[in-house]
C-alpha cells in the first residue's frame, strides 16, 4: 500500500522521472532523475520496535541524491535533507562531536557478506574498545540517529541502495561522513553499492569503523 501510494504520487508530480523501488519493478523515465524508494525499512521490527521507516530519495543523472526523506510513522519523526541542511520535524540536525570509539553508540543492523568481517567480529572489536553496539532492525533509522547526534556510527551491510540513498544527504549535511564498507566514496546511489558506513565525520572514528569491517573472520 505504501509503495503504491508513493509511486502514484511521484508519477503524478514527476511523470518523466524513473522510479526504482524495492517492492516494484523499475519504471524508466526520460528526465535523468530517479526516485529510490524503500516503503518499509525494518520489516522485522514491526510490532516489536518503533523503528521501521519509509525511505525516499531523488537522485540526479550523476547518481547523487538531491533530496531525501526518512519517515518513522510510529514516532512521527520526519527526517529530511536538501543540499544545504538536514532536519527532523523542522529542527536542524548536527552530528555528535565525540572523538573516540569508547562510549560511542554504533548501530550494526544487517549481516555483512564475504569478504567482510562477520557481525560478531565487528561487535567484539567495538565492545573491546568500550563502544556500545545496537541493532534496531532499521538501517535508515540507525543512520538518521547518526545525523541527529544520538549515535556516532552505523553500518549498512546490504548492497542495494534502497536505504542508503535516503541517508547520504541526511548524514553529510549534518556534518557527518558516508563511505562504502572499504572506506571509499560511493559514486552512485541509483544502483548496487558496496555497503555503507555512516559516522559523525571524526576521522579516528570513521577509520576505525572501516578497519573493524575489513578484518577477516578467523
Q: Provide the domain count of the chain.
A: 2
28 and 125 housed in the same domain: no
Percentage of the chain with pLDDT > 90? 86
Residues of the domain holding 201: 105-214
113 and 191 housed in the same domain: yes
79 and 111 housed in the same domain: no
pLDDT of residue 18 exceeding 50 = yes
Torsion angles phi and psi, residue 107, rounded to 5: -95, 135
pLDDT band at 216 (very low <50, low <70, confident <90, very high): low
In a domain, 161, yes or no: yes
pLDDT of residue 217 exceeding 60 = no
Q: Which CATH number belongs to the domain containing residue 16 in this structure?
A: 3.30.540.10
Q: What is the pTM of this model?
A: 0.95
In a domain, 98, yes or no: no
* pLDDT tens string 136-151: 999 999 999 999 999 9
* pLDDT tens string 44-82: 888 889 999 999 999 999 999 999 999 999 999 999 998
Quick check: 125 and 132 in contact, CB under 8 A? no
DSSP code at position 22: S
Q: What is the mean predicted confidence (pLDDT) over 165-183?
A: 97
pLDDT of residue 218 exceeding 80 = no
What is the rounded average pLDDT for all residues in the chain? Answer: 94
Residues 6+ apart with CB under 8 A from 143: 107, 154, 156, 163, 167, 170, 171, 196, 198
Amino acid at each position: 500500500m505504501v509503495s503504491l501510494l508513493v509511486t502514484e504520487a511521484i508519477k503524478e508530480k514527476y511523470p518523466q522521472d524513473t522510479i526504482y523501488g524495492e517492492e516494484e519493478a523499475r519504471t524508466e523515465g526520460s528526465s535523468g532523475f530517479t526516485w529510490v524508494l524503500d516503503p518499509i525499512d525494518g520489516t522485522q521490527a514491526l510490532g516489536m520496535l518503533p523503528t521501521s521507516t519509509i525511505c525516499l530519495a531523488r537522485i540526479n543523472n550523476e547518481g547523487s541524491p538531491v533530496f531525501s526523506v526518512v519517515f518513522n510513522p510510529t514516532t512521527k519523526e520526519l527526517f529530511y535533507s536538501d543540499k544545504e541542511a538536514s532536519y527532523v520535524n523542522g529542527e536542524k540536525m548536527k552530528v555528535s562531536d565525540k572523538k573516540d570509539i569508547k562510549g560511542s553508540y554504533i548501530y550494526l543492523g544487517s549481516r555483512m557478506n564475504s569478504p567482510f568481517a562477520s557481525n560478531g567480529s565487528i561487535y567484539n572489536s567495538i565492545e573491546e574498545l568500550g563502544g556500545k553496539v545496537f541493532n534496531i532492525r532499521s538501517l535508515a533509522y540507525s543512520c538518521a540517529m547518526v545525523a541527529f547526534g544520538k549515535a556516532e556510527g552505523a553500518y549498512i551491510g546490504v548492497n542495494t541502495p534502497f536505504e542508503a540513498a535516503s541517508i547520504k544527504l541526511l548524514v553529510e549535511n549534518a556534518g557527518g561522513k558516508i563511505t562504502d564498507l572499504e572506506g571509499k566514496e560511493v559514486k552512485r546511489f541509483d544502483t548496487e553499492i558496496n555497503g555503507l558506513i555512516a559516522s559523525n565525520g571524526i576521522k579516528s572514528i570513521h577509520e576505525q569503523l572501516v578497519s573493524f569491517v575489513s578484518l577477516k573472520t578467523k
